[in-house]
Copies of this chain bind each other. A is one copy, B any other.
Amino acid sequence: MENQVLGKTVENKQIIFKSYIEGIPKETDMELKIVKELNLEKVSKGSNGLLVKNLYLSCDPFMRGRMRDFTGSYLPPFVPGEVIEGFGVSKVLDSDNPDFKPGDIISGFTGWEEYSLVYNTDQMRKVQADDMPLSYHVGLLGMPGFTAYAGFYEVCKPKRGDYVLVSAASGAVGQLVGQLAKLYGCYVVGSAGTKQKVDILKDRLGFDGAFNYKEEADLDKALRRHFPEGIDIYFDNVGGSMLDAALLNMKIHGRIALCGMVSQQSLSNPQGIHNLLQLITKRVKMQGFLQSDYLHLFPRFLEDITSLYKQGKITYLEDMNEGLESAPAALVGLFSGQNTGKKVIRVAHH
């Protein structure tokens, strides 16, 4: 029983955020710290908090945005010298919160460490016992999956037969967008950064077409080849040159959903986009969005996607590393496309 550890003194490994950065994150921007004697006392009365054991931690591109000293965004920056925060799946050891009890599996924001004291439980969800793998709750059934779901249905407003482009298409969000678009009756082409990923898009995820953007000298030409009639929906996960090329290939009344812009997250002076005049001549709607604005749809999402997955109608690619120590390299790897599918760290076997 997990509860047997309560009151004991254990070691707690942590990943510490060192200091604010410029450019692409490096492993040395984080460091492993071992708190030798963490006293696993009960959560104090009246704190409304939880003591949890972290099982899975999620590596997400948005975390780069919290590594700079900028408070004007939708999440506060990390605190230098403190544990990195991210989405995770955890097991409750002790609870002062009436919504959660010891033994519950939960998903939401937690620390990059073995054990966490969690006080902000507003967005914490209890994971219902099920035969879906627990790690899926930071991917297919968590924030990235819900981003794909809300972005595709609510922002892209698809129509059957639409021509759909997805960038970073094998990533945590892109892989689900493409498959939902196929199920909706769209024609779907994905871009990715290796031959292996391109093959996966076509062979395992059922995309109609796919290309390696690193091998295309002219992205506009590549898009014209894949979309001779133009693009109705561009689900943008990268920004930059791909967005500029997509703008040149939009159809009249097309829609662009902006999600993440991973290529621009690390630039202090982001790349200029030159083809916005196309938004006028083609009457295109371009919309940035965050999944957190659509949380009322979360229960329906969970039901829909779980059902599609169990029917074998969608595939989920997960790329898991073992051990908290591997987390910094895994996070850094996102920004050079090292991962194939959703990047997750297994911290402990439950």
Contact of A277 among B264, B280, B289 (CB under 8 A): B264
Task: Report the count of interface residues on A (CB-CB < 8 A).
Answer: 36
- Indicate if the CB atoms of B279 and A286 lie closer than 8 Å: yes
> What are 23 A-to-B residue pairs whose CB atoms are below 8 Å?
A243-B276, A258-B276, A258-B280, A259-B280, A261-B280, A270-B274, A270-B275, A271-B272, A272-B272, A272-B274, A273-B273, A273-B274, A273-B276, A278-B288, A279-B286, A280-B290, A281-B290, A282-B288, A283-B289, A283-B290, A283-B293, A284-B288, A285-B285
Quick check: is A123 within 8 A (CB to CB) of the other chain? Answer: no
Chain B hits for A286, CB < 8 A: 279, 285-287
Q: How far is the CA of A219 from the CA of B61 in the complex (A)?
A: 31
- Indicate if the CB atoms of B274 and A279 lie closer than 8 Å: no
Q: How far is the CA of A218 from the CA of B73 in the complex (A)?
A: 22
Secondary structure of the A side of the interface?
Answer: loop
Contact of A258 among B74, B243, B279 (CB under 8 A): B279
A281-305 contacts to B (CB < 8 Å)? 281-290, 293
Quick check: is A239 within 8 A (CB to CB) of the other chain? Answer: yes
- Min Cβ gap A73→B in Å is 5
Residue-wise interface mask of A (152-167) relative to B, using a CB-CB cutoff of 8 A (1 in contact, 0 not): 0000000000000000
Residue-wise interface mask of A (222-264) relative to B, using a CB-CB cutoff of 8 A (1 in contact, 0 not): 0000000000000000010001000000000100001111001
Q: How far is the CA of A293 from the CA of B281 in the complex (A)?
A: 11
Chain B hits for A260, CB < 8 A: 280
- Min Cβ gap A249→B in Å is 11
Q: CB within 8 Å of B: which residues of A?
A: 65, 72-74, 239, 243, 253, 258-261, 264-265, 269-290, 293
Q: How many copies does the complex hold?
A: 2
Chain B hits for A287, CB < 8 A: 279, 283-286
Contact of A281 among B73, B243, B283 (CB under 8 A): B73
The 4 A-B residue pairs with the shortest CB-CB distance in the complex, in nearest-first order: A272-B272, A279-B288, A280-B288, A285-B287
Chain B hits for A265, CB < 8 A: 277
Chain B hits for A72, CB < 8 A: 281
